[in-house]
Amino acid sequence: MNQNCENRYTRQTSLPEIREEGQRRLHESRVLIVGLGGLGSPAAMYLAAAGVGTLGLMDDDLVSPSNLQRQILYTEDDLGQPKAICASRRLHALNNHLKTEVLPIRLTQENANNIIPGYDIVVDGCDNFATRYLLSDTTQSFHIPYIYGAICGFEGQVSVFNHHSDPHTYRDLYPDEAEMVHLPPDRRVLGAICGIVGSVQASEAIKAICGFGEPLHGKLWTIDLRTMQSHIILL
């Protein structure tokens, strides 16, 4: 690691849980972010800033005016452009040592088995149940940690599935797929909850890469900004 990189990361390499070994692991890691919206935006920015070597950026959507209330990767100049391309450009401006793999497509049954095994960790930034079940099943089959996050209104939650030998998956949290995939999406949300939950997802990914702390495997962390109450529920 050159002197400029050492200066860039000195605030975190001075932490005993990370040090130079942890920074090396971050640099060598490959993280896929599926969905570059309210959760994917802060997660991507903090992972890029922390020195993750390669980020896969998957989203088939275009930037729209309603995104700007919470999707902090984008500006008004990005309106109408593919999110994956705009995200890559923004993240490179933050950290030019970062490698990005731009995937302006939707995750499907047809491509999941080809894309997901190329990464060490998957961060869930999607906004629908069907994609989450697909993410859970595919990451489980390849034994890849899956950093789950979801938000609604003022509330958010995070968990970690497939971490080491932990058997829990998204299906343990929501076992009835047939019922869940037909629920209408609730688009109401305070932008700030996205930043909080996405940041926690980034933190869980960093913990998994560097191997410190107590990851949220077998646990569900929740927060409600109306009361600032936070809980950890055992799955």
Closest among 45, 35, 76, 41 to 192, alpha carbons compared: 41
Q: Mean pLDDT of residues grouped by 10 in the chain (235 residues)?
A: 74 97 98 98 98 98 98 98 98 98 98 98 96 97 97 98 91 93 88 98 98 96 98 96
Can you give the pLDDT at residue 6? 67
* Sheet strands side by side (includes 146-152): 99-103, 54-58, 30-34, 121-124, 146-152, 155-161, 219-224, 229-234
Neighbours of 209 (CB within 10 A): 24
- So what's the pLDDT on residue 181? 86
**Per the confidence metrics, is the pTM higher than 0.75?**
yes
* Spatial CB neighbours of 200, under 8 Å, sequence gap ≥ 6: 149, 156, 158, 221
For residue 1, the model assigns a pLDDT of 55
**CA dist., res. 208 & res. 160, Å (int):** 9
* Res 183: pLDDT: 86
